[in-house]
Chains A and B, each alone.
Chain A
Amino acid sequence: MKCEDINKMLAAYLDEEVTPEERGQVEAHLASCQKCREELRTLASTRERLRLVLRAEAARVEPSPQAWERVKQSIESKSSFWEQLGTYASKPLLRAAVPVAVVLIAIGALWSTGVLPGFQSGTAPVTAPGLTAPESADVSKSTLALESQQPVEIISVSGPLPPINPGGPTVEVTLRNVAPEPVVSLAASLELDRPFDFDFGVTSSNPLLPDKIISARLTLIGGGFSDKISYLLVITGTLQSGATFSYTEQVQIMAPPSK
Chain B
Amino acid sequence: MTDLTDNRWQSGDAADFESLFRQYERLVFKTAYLITGTKEEAEDILQEVFVSVWKSRQTFDPNKAKLTTWLHKITVNKCLERRRKKKLVSVSLEGLDLPGTQVTDDVLVSRQEYERLLEAMNSLDAKHRVVLILRYFDDLSYEEIAQAVSVPLGTVKSRINQALKLLRAQFDVQQQRGSRVEGLSKL
- A to B CB contacts below 8 Å, 22 in the list: A10-B161, A11-B164, A17-B141, A17-B157, A43-B164, A43-B165, A53-B114, A54-B136, A55-B137, A56-B102, A61-B39, A71-B51, A78-B54, A147-B12, A193-B127, A224-B151, A224-B152, A225-B150, A226-B146, A229-B146, A230-B64, A249-B56
Q: Which residues of B contact A191 (CB under 8 A)?
A: 77, 150
B168 and A78 contacting across the interface, CB-CB below 8 Å: no
Q: Which residues of B contact A60 (CB under 8 A)?
A: 96
| Bound CA span A76–B54, Å | 10
Interface presence of A124 (CB below 8 A)? no
Interface presence of A116 (CB below 8 A)? no
User: In this complex, which of A15, A55, A61, A70 has the most chain B Cβ atoms within 10 angstroms of its Cβ?
Assistant: A61
B33 touches which one: A50, A58, A225 (CB < 8 A)?
A: A58
Interface presence of A51 (CB below 8 A)? yes
B152 and A12 contacting across the interface, CB-CB below 8 Å: no
Q: Give A50 Cβ to nearest chain B Cβ, in Å.
A: 5
B157 and A70 contacting across the interface, CB-CB below 8 Å: no
Least CB separation from B80: chain A residue: A194
Q: Give A15 Cβ to nearest chain B Cβ, in Å.
A: 7
B59 touches which one: A17, A45, A224, A250 (CB < 8 A)?
A: A250
B137 touches which one: A9, A10, A17, A51 (CB < 8 A)?
A: A51
Binding site for A on B (CB under 8 A): 12, 14, 17-18, 21-22, 25-26, 29-30, 33-34, 39, 42-43, 46-47, 50-52, 54-56, 58-61, 64-65, 70, 73-74, 77, 80, 91, 96, 98-99, 102, 104, 106-107, 109, 113-114, 117-118, 121, 127, 132-133, 135-137, 141-142, 146-147, 149-153, 155, 157-158, 160-161, 164-165, 167-168, 171
Q: Apart from A45-B107, A225-B152, list 12 A-B contacts with CB within 8 A.
A: A8-B161, A17-B142, A54-B121, A54-B137, A56-B114, A57-B34, A67-B25, A68-B21, A75-B51, A224-B152, A231-B150, A247-B55
Interface presence of A74 (CB below 8 A)? yes
Q: Which residues of A contact B171 (CB under 8 A)?
A: 46
A75 and B161 contacting across the interface, CB-CB below 8 Å: no
Interface presence of A141 (CB below 8 A)? no
A250 touches which one: B39, B64, B136, B160 (CB < 8 A)?
A: B64
| Bound CA span A51–B77, Å | 22
| Bound CA span A230–B59, Å | 12
User: In this complex, which of A58, A60, A62 has the most chain B Cβ atoms within 10 angstroms of its Cβ?
Assistant: A58
A67 and B150 contacting across the interface, CB-CB below 8 Å: no
Q: C-beta contact mask, A19-63 vs B, less than 8 Å → 1, else 0?
A: 000000000000000000000001101111111111111101111
Binding site for B on A (CB under 8 A): 7-12, 15, 17, 42-43, 45-58, 60-64, 67-68, 70-72, 74-76, 78-79, 147-148, 191-194, 224-226, 229-232, 247-250
Q: Report, nearest first, the 8 A-B pairs whose CB atoms are least far apart.
A: A11-B161, A58-B30, A63-B29, A54-B137, A51-B136, A75-B54, A17-B142, A46-B168
Q: Which residues of B contact A229 (CB under 8 A)?
A: 146-147, 150-152
A192 and B150 contacting across the interface, CB-CB below 8 Å: yes
Least CB separation from B163: chain A residue: A11
| Bound CA span A63–B158, Å | 33
A8 and B135 contacting across the interface, CB-CB below 8 Å: no
B160 and A193 contacting across the interface, CB-CB below 8 Å: no
Q: Give B108 Cβ to nearest chain A Cβ, in Å.
A: 9
Q: Give A95 Cβ to nearest chain B Cβ, in Å.
A: 22
A50 and B167 contacting across the interface, CB-CB below 8 Å: yes
